Structure 1
Amino acid sequence: MAAPQTTELTVRRMARALGNNGLSGPFGHCSVRLDTDHLLVCAARPMAMVGVGEAGTVVPVKGALPAGVLGEVRLHQQIYRRRPDVQAICRFIPPQITALAALGRVPRARHGFGSYFQANVPLWPDAALVRNDTAAEQVAALLGPHPALVLNVNGAVTVAETPERAVALAWFLEDAARVELAALSSGLADTAPVLGTEVAAQRATWDGRIAERVWEYLLRNDPEPLPP
């Protein structure tokens, strides 16, 4: 099965948005759902280095990973199986999230970007990489209906109904971790306010081209613009 060229382009741009904006270094991957039974994952290389026109790999949602596909793509398979609403996944390793996870903590809804995670971000407790089906199943189950999950000291996962939103959530999550670390550094984290459920729900909007503007910003210098 071949992926549409427009989807190939989207996955490449997702990868570079993450890799070129401090959200992932040599490691990480992203994908888009093709249909009920298949996904397209980016090339197995540093996401910032995914080249113009470089093809991803079509992966079955159920079944063995194709040759050359990174082992943690099993997690993408398991999430797509459980979440029919999810159309795109980012698996990335940003510095602020990693530092916060090293303290056994996750971001709280303390500011606008944090409001998208008001219902708390699950924290996977195992420091090992998710490279077998059992672990991937357990992580996907822990993610549940949430938009994001922190993989201990190995970064995070965001999921959404569009590639733009999945990437925007990755950027929001890292900024929420930055704010959480600042709160902890101040010594006031336990008494500082967090957004209530209703306030956070109102603030966590996608109206006003929120995801699209983040997408445009993160891809401001991308070498492969969308075709006219």
Structure 2
Amino acid sequence: MGRHGLAHAYGHVSARLNAESFLVSPAQPLGTVGLDEPGVQVPLDGDLPPGALPEVRIHREIYRRRPSVGGICRVQSPAVMALSALGETPRALHGLGTYFAPAPPLWPGVALVRDDAQAVAVAEMMGDAAAIVLSGNGAVIAGETLEEAASLAFFLEDAAKIELALLPARAAGRTPREYTADEVAKRAVRAGALFERMWQFLCFGDPEWQA
């Protein structure tokens, strides 16, 4: 996430361990986490343990509500943030955007989500969507695995770049072509090692990949 410009100093990722807990990255920039540094194990019930960032509450509420979610990425990718400043989130305008069709919900608050009530509200607005965009503050992306969530984080940023690239055309009166529901169903596939190949692309060159 850090090396591909999807998360800066404040990004964090997590993976479900079991029905009672998940593992989240330590409270430091993702690109600085070493191979031998343990994450923070967070229970789904009870208080956050020492070392867990306050925003980890968002992860916890998503895991509580969605048993199929196995990985979550909290990112601050620039195109997603720029588009949110326009009050928009990426639509299904190209293949990678179909995984969020018709578009991710946009959380309107600008304050950091650091208490239980706000985290509950974010998770409820997200519902079963693959991502929720936080106004001016990046996004939260969920997948069946951490590999899938990381891939979707890349997809979301790519979809936002398409939206921004089309702004001049929109200003000139052109209307971008959105995928239909039928086209979305046919394109948003998981077969063909689609997420596995994106995970390989994202991780290639990382110390973990070489270990």
- Do Structure 1 and Structure 2 share a fold, with TM-score over 0.5? yes
Runs of 4+ in 1 over 4 A off after TM superposition: none
* Cα-to-partner distance string for 1:160-206 (whole Å, 9 max, x where unaligned): 11111100100000000000111123226862210001101110111
For 1:224, what is the secondary structure of its paired residue?
helix
Query: Do the aligned partners of 2:92 and 2:100 also contact (CA within 8 Å) in 1?
Result: yes
Q: CA deviation at 1:209?
A: 0.6
1:195 aligns with 2:198: no
Matches within 5 A, 1:77-226: 77-187=60-170, 191-225=175-209
Q: TM-score, normalised by structure 2?
A: 0.96
Shift of 1:53: 1.6
Task: Identify the match of residue 63 of structure 1 among 41, 46, 53.
Answer: 46
Count of residue pairs brought into register by the alignment: 210
SS in structure 2 of the partner of residue 25 of structure 1:
coil
Where in structure 2 are there 5+ consecutive unaligned residues? none
Unmatched runs of 5 consecutive residues or more in structure 1: 1-17
1:33 is aligned, of 1, 7, 16, to 16
TM-score normalised by the chain length of structure 1 = 0.89
Task: Tell me, yes or no, if the aligned pair for 1:32 and 1:87 is still in contact at 8 Å.
Answer: yes
Q: Percent identity?
A: 47
**Root-mean-square deviation (Å):** 1.3
Q: Give the whole-Å Cα distance in 2 for the aligned partners of 1:118 and 1:94.
A: 19
What is the Cα deviation at residue 36 of structure 1? 1.1
Do 1:31 and 1:90's aligned partners in 2 also have CA atoms closer than 8 Å? Answer: yes
The amino acid that maps onto 1:80 is Y
